[in-house]
Every structure is written in C-alpha cells, then in structure tokens.
Amino acid sequence: MTPNTLEDREKMRRKSLETYLRHELEKQEDQNSFFKILTAMTIIFLGIILTIFLFADNKKFLENSFGQDSFITRLFVNLTESKTRKEKAEFTLPFGPRKQNILLLGIDSNGSESDIWEGTRTDTIVLLNIDPKTKTLNAISIPRDSKVYLPGDMGVQKINAAHAIGGIKTTIKTVEDTLGVRVDRYIMVHDEAVKKIVEAMDGIDIYVEKDMNYHDYAGKLHINLKKGQQHLSPEQVVGYLRFRHDAMGDIGRAQRQQWLLRGVLEQLQQPKTIAKVPQILAIAKEYVKTDMSLYEMSQYAAIAKHFNTDNIEIATLPGSPNKKGYTSYWILDPDKTQEVVNRLIYRENKKSDKVQYVASIMYSNDNEKLSKTIIQDLEANNVTVKCIGTSNATHAQFIAHSKDVTTDYYNWLKKKVPNLKAKQFVYDPINFYCSDTDFTIIIAGQ
C-alpha cells in the first residue's frame, strides 16, 4: 500500500484534523491565550520586498554584502542596469502584464519544533492585488473569524481553521470560493518572524493610539504600552499587534496591522535599516514559505519602488460580529463583500460624472481649527460637509464609502486641499459615520 492510497490520504486528513482539534482544546482551557497571535503578514513580506528594492540600485553595497560574483548581486544588478547602457530596467513580470493576486498568510505557533507549518492557523489573512500596468497595489484584510464553508464537505468553520485542517491548498480554495477570485501565489510567515525582523531593525517607531494594558500570566503575554509616539521593542510590537481587549476587538487589531505597516515602510527607507538587509533576508529564509521563485520575488521588488503608500487602497471585508454559544464569528455581508472584491480585486472603477460630493469630518479636540480650514477648502471644491463630529482617532484616514470616490479623485482633491495629504486611503462601503455621505475624513490628534 503506497502513501497515495485513498485510505492513507484519509488517515493524513484525520491526523491533521485531530491536531487542529487538540490545538483548539488547549486554547479553550485558557481563553485569554486562545487569541495568541498575531503575524502581520503584510508588514513582513512587504517589508522584505521594499528592503530589497532599496539596495537593488547600490552595486557597491551588494558586492560588499553578498560578494562581487554572487547570484544575488548579479540578479539585482541585471534588474537595474541595461547590458549596454546604465539605464533603469523596466518592470516586466515573467508571467505577463495581467493583474496578480497574492495571498499573504500569518501563521501562529503549533507548539511543535518538528514542523512549524503543520496544524497551524492563519491568524492574518490578506489578499493583495498588484496591477503591473498601473503599478498600483490594493489590499483586502480578511477577518480571521469570518464564517465560511470549507471545500470538500469539511463543513462550516472560521476561515483561519482552513490551513490547520487542510493545509495551504484548502486555504487557497476557501479564499477563492468565498470571494470568487483566483489566487496566483501565496506567502506564509510564521509568527516568530515578526519579533525577529523587528529585532533586526532595532525596533519600530509608531504612534500608540491608546494606553494598552493586559496581562496573561498563563500565556506569558504582558502588554503595557502608553499612548503617544513610541519606539517599540520586538516584544512591545508583538504586544501591540496582539492587543484586542477593547470595543473594536479583532477589527481594531487589523487596523493596527495596517498602521504598523506604514511605520515599517517609513523606517525601511532609512540608511541604517538598509545595512540590515542580509540579516532580514536570513530570517525570511527560515520563517517565510512561498510558491514564488527568487526571480518572481525580484520582479515584485522591482515594481515595489513605484508604489506610493498614500495611493495604496485597503479594505476589510465588511460584516458584523455574531456569537453562537462559545464561538464568535464575523458574518460577512455578501453584497458589500462583493462590492469590495469588485473594486479592489477586479478594479471595476468606472470614471464618475459626479460633480457634487457629500462628506463627513471627524476631528480630535486639538484639531478643531484645522478641521474648519479643511471644511472651507472642501466647500470651495464642490464638497458639502454634512456631518461634523469629534473623534479620539490617532491615525489620519480618508475613508471612501461611494463607488464615485476613487484614488484618482482623492489625488485630485489633495491638490486642492493640501491638508488632506498623508492620509491612509480606505474603502468602507458600510458607512457608520454619517449616512448618505460619499467619504469621511478622519483628522487625527496626538
């Protein structure tokens, strides 16, 4: 009997299922440690990619770090120089100019040292859409508690259980079936990579939006962060990402991943971080698993230099929380979810003929004067401000609620209203700020 028989495959599936159920039972014995997470997959992978492109143009640095005739040196020199002239090479994907969907997965620990990828849950799930023609990037965060049907009659589960039960193939198939998309490539990062890479970068600068205090002695998790601009150590970054003991719960945690991503991207552009490239790449080799070749990754690195972080459009799959017994789910809104997929993945953004827009403004108490200036500038550019209110938000955002509000419109509006610059562009079709408005501007405070 060979390992490929139906009986053996069924045994392997049952073993994976038993591993997952045992893992879940251990978590339930201590509810606080049940939420041991979290891998900010987007932070790690994009951090590696952008780090690579930052030194790709520096031939001397490459030769000193990897050797004059090494494969990595020759690869990136060829990427950035023509063989006949010292010109910047154009970005060309080896598989054509079509849009690519990359599934980013953050994997938790399974408590085993034998295989860190076996029987693990995906506590971070992000679907990236890269368009080589426009050199733009969109990202959809998929809440880990999303209630879905697993393929192959595996029943109803949280989406983060797909990997623990059926591995990467089941995870990809679940995402494809749930969203109606094609997944071209995947990248998985183990949760230990977060701490290791932040350690290599000597910490991360980020504004902590609130006091965070939580102690889980059984799970050895201690979070004690103060509100304000902070330089976080590796342990503090993990605590910042894992904190979810507030009204926003898992959704607030997803937002913190996005905010930390911006902080990482900014720090990666500093010369002192570029010197850490060999160390970061060594960590990636151990804690990153992907079906991409080095050549494919280098091509994504080449296009990454064209990304403008202010133009990256992000969204979290819309829905609402629901609890069944002791199990909490995130119930996806089917219509709004499809709207997000159509916009960010299929890029169904038709040019709008709309002239008059309606907005809402949320500002911190120390930014009332600034909000009045922004309102005046908006109204001078055919924007009616319908709702004005205060907010404790500490991260500036431009939140689009209408299909008419595109990144092109936002870029145009920034030229007319300079105070709108450097705000994260978010698409959220569920508008809980102010009904019947096209977008909401969050003027954050410190």
Looking at residue 110, what is its pLDDT? Answer: 60
Residue 216 CB-half CA count within 13 A: 18
Looking at residue 88, what is its pLDDT? Answer: 41
d(Cα 3, Cα 6) in Å, to the nearest integer? Answer: 9
List, for residues 95-148, the tens digit of each pLDDT value: 556 889 999 898 876 665 667 788 888 878 989 998 888 888 899 989 989 999
Pairing status of strand 221-225 against strand 147-150: unpaired
Looking at residue 55, what is its pLDDT? Answer: 47
Looking at residue 248, what is its pLDDT? Answer: 54
Tell me how far CA of residue 358 lies from CA of 59, 270, 339, in angstroms.
51, 39, 20
Residue 415's nearest CA partner among 386, 377, 371 is: 377
Beta strands per DSSP E along 288-446: 288-290, 313-316, 319-324, 327-332, 357-363, 383-390, 397-400, 424-427, 439-443
Q: Is pLDDT larger for residue 267 or for residue 427?
A: 427
Q: CB-based burial of residue 165 (10 Å sphere; 0-12 exposed, 13-18 middle, 19+ buried)?
A: buried
d(Cα 187, Cα 185) in Å, to the nearest integer? Answer: 7
The answer to whether residues 339 and 181 touch, using CB atoms and an 8 Å cutoff, is no
Looking at residue 249, what is its pLDDT? Answer: 53
d(Cα 21, Cα 27) in Å, to the nearest integer? Answer: 10
Under DSSP, is residue 159 helix (H, G, I), strand (E, B) or coil?
helix
List, for residues 205-255, the tens digit of each pLDDT value: 888 877 888 776 655 667 888 888 888 888 888 778 777 665 555 556 666
Q: Residue with structure tokens 């120390």?
A: 366
List, for residues 307-355, the tens digit of each pLDDT value: 766 678 889 999 988 887 778 899 999 999 999 999 999 998 777 889 9
Q: How many CB atoms lie within 10 A of CB 233?
A: 15
- Predicted confidence band of residue 10 (pLDDT cuts 50, 70, 90): low
Q: How many residues make up the chain in this entry?
A: 446
Average pLDDT for residues 366-383, to the nearest whole number? 94
